[in-house]
Chain A
Amino acid sequence: MTTVALPRARRAVRWDSLPPLVRRTILLMALIGVWQAYVSITHVSHLLFASPWQTTTTLWNDWTNGSLAGPTWETLRILLEGIGIGIGIAIVLTVFATLTTVGSDLLALLTSLLNPLPGVAVLPLAMLWFGINESAIIFTIANATIWPVAINLSTGFKTVSPTLVAVGRNIGLSKLRVITDVLVPAALPHAVSGLKTAWAFGWRTVIAAELVFGVAGSKGGLGNYINNARLYLITPRVFAGLVTIAALGVVFEALFGALERRTIVRWGMQTS
């Protein structure tokens, strides 16, 4: 056997060998560089395009003086209320669907009709019913949340291994404890994926609804903040609002990822 002398690799740092976080940071910096370069070179109107620097200073100022922090917390509060109500109703529907055939048929029908509907599509109706206020937004978010959560939960309960349920009864669990100690944890992977979808749908819906309300002249929320900035041509604020939305998206993705790693990944229960 002969050894083939390979040409010695140059000692440059190879992209693939860098840790993902470093690779992403480098790419992010590069993109910000391109953004800054575009603004500096083309001298695009400041009324239309904010530079990274302007965006950063606006972010810093508006977060420290509360004019961006306030609307952000407002949006998150409305979002959590809407998702909370949505999940609550989804759980009731799922229990009903798990216990009765009528309930199961009803849930299948409702989800097939309402799940494909973009969440924000029911906003006009919600405005008719509740007026231009946060109740209308919460209703819209709840509607966007119920269906994906209910679908996932009922799939989760239906796909629990019958063997595991039999084991639960064999070791002496009461019917109630079979539900809490076997069915619920066994359905957790589906519940988590339902929660992720609920978050994604709700987040899009709340921003869209607030933007619409901004046009209609109401107050509060991130959508409003962005829309007002557009109205007064304070373009850096539009950018700052968008960056905030993107950053929150990243943070929540990370939280869900951590939740999954501590539970279903650790237990080898991840689906797909």
Chain B
Amino acid sequence: MAATATDRVSTPVTAPPTGAPLLRLTGIRLGYDTDAGFHLAVDHIDLNVWPRERIVVIGPSGCGKSTLLKAIAGFVEPIAGTIELAGSRSLEPGPDRALVFQEFDQLFPWRSVLDNVAYPLRINGSGRKDAAKRAHEFLALTHLERAAHRHPHELSGGMKQRVAIARALALDPQILLMDEPFGALDAITRQRLQFELNRIVEQTDVTLIFVTHSIEEALVVGDRVVVLGDAPSQIVEVVDVRSLGGPETPEYSEMRGRLRALLAVEREEELER
């Protein structure tokens, strides 16, 4: 069998994905208008995501990884290619692809923590009581019960991001999309939330697409890491990291070195151009 990008790592602990992919990206090309004219961010991306996978998209700044996430969320229309979620191609923004942003101001400041989670549920047809009950469950999952009746401005950055995660998960999305959600946090909070996210994702069986520019974060959070090149980007490589041990193992160091090399090589080519 020919070596593909996905089976470079020996003996995966978790079974490799089988069955039909949940999300199918085919020939995706993405760009947007800027003051300096049209910017082609993503040249060509093909990617399949299977249910319950955790995909981390990593790449240099401006490589279009956030734009890719926005396209999946329905905010950016691809210039070419198709995005297919569970067989459906007409994708308006919606709660089936709940999004967690990097910005702390993603919570509604005029709503309590509880209501920030419960209100989107009411919008999507839950009764007031059911919404509150479910919101409490997800606040418990993210260890936020004690903050339920506070307002967002009374929370720390890490707590705000946990509320955003609780809100997204309570919507029971087919895919949870996260756009550098821990990028604005301090190192310690960031690490705590990475582990907490892993626990939550395991408990909820959600499919995850997580964008970051941190190699360590990619290794902690991901099953597969999609490495993008410089804009206009293509997939440089997809690596399977689900069987990696902890940071103290040689496999981990080796993988970190490899991702570093992949990302650094791209930078050099950029400089030569």
Contact = CB atoms under 8 A, between A and B. Distances in A.
Interface of A: 161, 163-164, 166-167, 169-173, 177, 182, 185-186, 188, 263, 266-269
B109 A169 contact: no
B123 interface: yes
A170 B99 contact: yes
A167 B110 contact: no
Nearest to A162: B103
* The 10 nearest A-B residue pairs measured at CB: A268-B153, A171-B120, A169-B93, A163-B103, A172-B95, A267-B110, A267-B109, A161-B105, A170-B99, A185-B110
Contact of B123 (A163, A171, A185, A186): A171
A172 B120 contact: yes
Nearest to A269: B109
Given A164-B108, A172-B94, A269-B109, 13 more contacts: A164-B105, A167-B99, A169-B75, A170-B94, A170-B99, A171-B95, A171-B119, A171-B124, A171-B167, A188-B110, A263-B110, A268-B151, A268-B154
A266 B154 CA distance: 10
A138 B153 CA distance: 41
Contacts of B198: none
A163 B151 contact: no
Contacts of A185: 108, 110
Interface of B: 73, 75, 93-95, 97-99, 101, 103, 105-106, 108-110, 119-120, 123-124, 151-154, 167, 171
Given A164-B106, A263-B110, A269-B109, A172 B123 contact: yes
Contact of B73 (A170, A266, A268): A170
Nearest to B155: A268
Contacts of B123: 171-173, 177
Contacts of A164: 105-106, 108
Nearest to A174: B123
Contacts of B73: 170
Contacts, number: 61
A166 B103 CA distance: 12
Nearest to B104: A163
B64 to A, nearest CB: 17
B67 to A, nearest CB: 13
Contacts of A166: 75, 93, 99, 101
19 contacts: A161-B105, A163-B103, A163-B106, A164-B106, A166-B99, A166-B101, A167-B101, A167-B108, A171-B95, A171-B120, A172-B93, A172-B95, A186-B109, A188-B110, A267-B110, A267-B151, A268-B109, A268-B152, A269-B109
Contacts of B167: 171
Nearest to A161: B105
B179 to A, nearest CB: 10
A102 to B, nearest CB: 21
A170 B93 contact: yes
Contacts of B120: 171-172
B181 to A, nearest CB: 12
Contacts of A263: 110
A163 B101 contact: yes
A269 B75 CA distance: 27
A160 B123 CA distance: 21
Nearest to B120: A171
A171 B110 contact: no
Contacts of B103: 161, 163
A267 B95 CA distance: 25
Contacts of B119: 171
